[in-house]
Amino acid sequence: MLEHSDELAELFDLDYGHFADDLPFYEQLARRCEGPILELGVGTGRVAIPLASAGFEVWGIDSSEAMLARARAKAEAALAARLRSGDMRDFDLDRKFDLIFAGLGAFHHLLTPDDQAACLRCVQRHLAPGGLFVCDLRPLFHNDWEAGDSVPLYHEWTRVLPDSGETVMKFRSATVDRARQLRHETHMFDRLSADGAVRRVVTAIDLRFTSRYEMEGLLRDAELEPDQMYGDFDLAPYDDMSEYMITIARKRTEE
């Protein structure tokens, strides 16, 4: 799992903090629940904070203390107290949840089938009977898996940091490991100060991509029943052209 410095947490917010396409989707799911909600890989609170503001009891875990510190600083006191340091593969919150979700591709950071299975076993233990697990991923075919394939360095965006006023340019490159279904990404952030000085921040990220049938098998092995699969947050059916693979699974109701 990744460790993030305070600076990388700030840059993560600049990178993803504006993304809101999934917020109505998760709020709609939350309204189907009576009990608390848990986000895996809560990050800086991009989803958890709006859900808590809408009146839901939201909990969150993340392996990065820097991410959690930034989330707590932005959150109301009740939510801040429910944001915990934890590993998606091995956590125990001593409570049940009606909804557990891993948003923004958080499940991609589990780099082996064993890691994924361990996470789902934890999910199953923490779900109330009939509770939902939701996982949004990029599909396996999001990458070209030809041996030796690589994505050259390209400019992704230019934005301004609100606090410092610095201009930041993000660049990304990637290579793939076909045998292990891994994508190795390098993210470079060039920070341009007012005096024209440039400082580069570099981070490496590994992501594992999972096929539909592999995901369904992992869920069933963890005693979670696949319920729905969508291709976007507007609930379009999933197919080979979908931008996302959004899986909803349910814990069977105890007799």
Per-residue pLDDT of the chain (255 residues; tens, 9 = 90+): 344 588 999 999 999 999 999 999 999 999 999 899 999 999 999 999 999 999 999 999 999 999 999 999 999 999 999 999 999 999 999 999 999 999 999 999 999 999 999 999 999 999 999 999 999 999 998 777 665 567 788 999 999 999 889 999 999 999 999 899 999 999 999 999 988 899 999 999 999 999 999 999 999 999 999 999 999 999 999 998 999 999 999 998 864
Q: How far is CA 94 from CA 31, 48, 225, in A?
A: 23, 20, 23
CA angle in degrees (0–180, nearest 5) for 69-72-73: 85
Same domain, 121 and 189: no
Same domain, 165 and 106: no
Residue 97, pLDDT score: 98
β-pair type (127-137, 97-102): parallel
Same domain, 129 and 172: no
As a residue count, the chain comes to: 255
Number of domains in the chain: 2
Same domain, 157 and 120: no
pTM for the complete prediction?
0.93
Query: What's the domain range around 194?
Result: 150-208
- CATH number for the domain that contains residue 180: 2.20.25.110
Residue 2, pLDDT score: 40
